[in-house]
Amino acid sequence: TIASPAVAQSMPEIKWRMTSSFPKSLDTLYGAGELFVKQVAEMTDGKFQIQHFAAGEIVPGLQALDATSGGTVEMCHSVSYYYVGKDPTFAIAAAVPFGLNARQQAAWLFQNGGNEKFNEFYKKYNIYGFPIGNTGAQMGGFFRKEIKTAADLQGLKMRIGGIAGQVLQKVGVVPQQLAGPDVYPALEKGTIDAAEWVGPYDDEKLGLAKVAPYYYYPGFWEGGPMVHGYVNLDKWNQLPKAYQAILQNAGHAATNYMITRYDALNPQGLRKILASGGQLRPFSNDILDACFKATNELWAEIGAKNETFKTMMADMQAFRNDEYFWWQVAEYNYDTYMIRSRTRG
């Protein structure tokens, strides 16, 4: 609620609620939301207070957007690709298979009009969106058996959701929906053959390497997924301009918090996974090529029925082509040499 009209007071006292799509156990995803509300409070000397609720405390995690659209809460912290059931266009704001890496996704949203275009799209859902986090490139998950060629994917039961699940279905995988706590027993019993989660820091806590030791990379469906804040559009429009700026700047701080915290914690997560029996395996080019082909087929199918999706996908792909034209020069070769010389430093 806004205590007094914005015109009369530029820094009014405001109390909001933010519902998260993440449980507290995903402490880097949920933690970035904590940092966000803390920054907003500090920057306003406590005048703008946002109370942060974990998934399930007000509404389940996947209903965060609806709760915001409808005004149950003023805002949420969520990932746009959870809402592909409403419109597959949502996925492109976060990450799609073979999309942009984390920095490129930010460059597309902030420097190439992506964020403005999505906010046009979001209007019919009565929300305003801006980034609050990115996980960096994720892992491909744990597999009970090695998979070497695309043929090995046939009939493979894998815990994977959303548009990535649709891509994998095209190459023979049978996508499964399971909540986090159900994954370990399902892999142990062999009810499922594989499961993807996030990256080493979060993955290690599930202990999956003990029951499905082959840990594949990269998670080609999430090269750099952007996490968003969504604000009820009426509430956004009622905010003083200063508070709109404060929310967006806090979004930048929380984005950098999330990605740097994952970068700092993933190495130790990976070490623990390897120590508990996990074995790293790269997806073969045969598998990646088959999935890349399936991905482009899916985009053509969706695009034939959905003009917004088609336009936004073409925009992202053109940007991606430009980005990797440059990325392959300085950034990639810097990393190449540093990886090569890592143990000699």
Contact positions with its own copies (CB under 8 A) in 271-330? 271, 280, 282, 285, 288-289, 292, 296, 317, 320-330
- DSSP assignments along 197-242, one per residue: -S-HHHHHHHTGGGT--EEEE--TT-SSPEEEEEEEHHHHHHS-HH
Footprint of its own copies on 179-208 (CB under 8 A): 199-200
Tell me whether residue 188 or residue 331 sits nearer to its own copies (CB atom).
331
Backbone phi and psi for residue 35, each to the nearest 5 degrees, phi listed first: -60, -40
Instruction: Give the shortest CB-60-to-its own copies separation in angstroms.
Output: 29
Binding range to its own copies, per CB under 8 A, among 39-47, 52-60, 73-81, 183-191: 39-47
Instruction: Give me 252's structure tokens.
Output: 């930048």
Closest CA to 157 of 144, 171, 184, 175: 175
Strand duo 226-232 + 127-134: pairing = antiparallel
Among 2, 62, 107, 171, the residue binding its own copies under the rule CB under 8 A is: 107
Write each residue from 144 to 183 as x if it is in contact with its own copies (CB under 8 A), else as -, in one continuous string: ----------------------------------------
Measured from the CB of residue 141, what is the shortest distance to its own copies in angstroms?
Answer: 11
* Number of C-beta neighbours around residue 341 at 10 A: 9
Q: Which helix (H) or strand (E) holds 6?
A: none
d(C-alpha 135, C-alpha 301), whole Å: 29
The reply on whether position 39 binds its own copies by CB under 8 A is: yes
Residue 97 touching its own copies (CB under 8 A): no
| Of the candidate residues 259, 298, 302, 312, the single one contacting its own copies (CB under 8 A) | 259
Cβ closer to its own copies: 219 or 229?
Answer: 219
Residue 101 phi/psi, 5-degree rounding, is -80, 175
Which C-beta is closer to its own copies: that of 189 or that of 241? 241
Q: How far apart are CA 260 and CA 252, in angstroms?
A: 12
Residue pair 197/135 in contact (Cβ under 8 Å)? The answer is: no
**What is the residue whose two structure tokens read 């399902």?**
186
Separation of alpha carbons 34 and 18, rounded Å: 10
User: 62 or 107: whose CB is closer to its own copies?
Assistant: 107
Question: What gap in Å lies between CA 79 and CA 94, rounded to an integer?
Answer: 6
Nearest approach, Cβ of residue 161 and its own copies (Å) = 19
Using CB under 8 A, count the residues that bind its own copies: 88
Cβ proximity to its own copies, 151 vs 245, nearer residue: 245
Q: Which of residues 110-139 bind its own copies (CB under 8 A)?
A: 110-112, 136-139
Residues 215-254 that bind its own copies (CB under 8 A): 217-220, 223-224, 240-242, 245-246, 248-250, 252-253
